[in-house]
Amino acid sequence: MIAENLRAIQSRIDKAARDAGRDPSEVTLLAVSKTKPAAMVREAYAAGHRAFGENYAQELRDKAAELADLKDLQLHAIGPLQSNKAKYIAQSAAAFHALDRIGLAEELSKRCVALGRVLPCYLEVNLGGEAQKGGVMPEGLDALADATAQLPGIRLAGLMCIPPNLEEPEAARPYFVRLRTLRDGLRARHPSCAGLSMGMSGDFEVAIAEGATVVRVGSAIFGTRG
């Protein structure tokens, strides 16, 4: 079941990339396994998948421990993070996709330096102006990028967004275009800031058409969450 879902999503990704004149290998699929048991990650891994997304710091830490025998397993942290849990992400995450404030960046960098590693980070931008959601407001993005780029334990890998809940996948397109435009604007000063982490189960094809380099797909692979 999981193997089949992965194959189906991967072929939709490949098609969306080709339709956009892009090489499918430019798009990484993060299989979002939040709230699902480690056994399901193991099943996807057995089917050949390596990159996963987790929202909660402790859950990521626990899955990393349970799955430590799986070589090349990548657990990406994609959810909001409190600074006091930064250590779990520094220790166990392949990358962090929801960096939205300098205090958190400093804490992550300090932890990563102590561990002798550099953590790829995506800056999450709050494009819907939604107070209840994470993400730096677009007005604050330049300052956050400039400050983060100074930190030795972090590599600025790109931008991330979660558009407001929308009825139609097409309705997300303007948000994806906006994120790409913001990324293009930063790239001259910060060449490593090349990635676009955008697109979920309902809208990843639209995101790929607009330049996504990472799509985060959960329910379409592992089933709906309880």
The contact pattern for ligand PLP, residues 41-80, with x = CB under 6 A and - = no contact, is --------------x----------------------xx-
- Evaluate the CA torsion angle 116, 93, 137, 203 in order and state its sign: positive
Decide if residue 219 touches ligand PLP (CB under 6 A). yes
Using left for φ > 0, alpha for ψ between -120 and 50, and beta otherwise, residue 183 falls in alpha
Decide if residue 218 touches ligand PLP (CB under 6 A). yes
- Closest separation in Å from C-beta 80 to ligand PLP: 9
Decide if residue 32 touches ligand PLP (CB under 6 A). yes
Nearest in space to 186 (alpha carbons), one of 206, 165, 158: 158
Distance CA 51, CA 31 (A): 6
Decide if residue 126 touches ligand PLP (CB under 6 A). no
Residues 151-170 that bind ligand PLP (CB under 6 A): 162
Decide if residue 27 touches ligand PLP (CB under 6 A). no
Could you tell me which residues come within 8 angstroms of residue 51 by beta carbon, excluding any fewer than 6 positions away?
A: 28, 29, 30, 31, 74, 76, 94
- Closest separation in Å from C-beta 113 to ligand PLP: 26
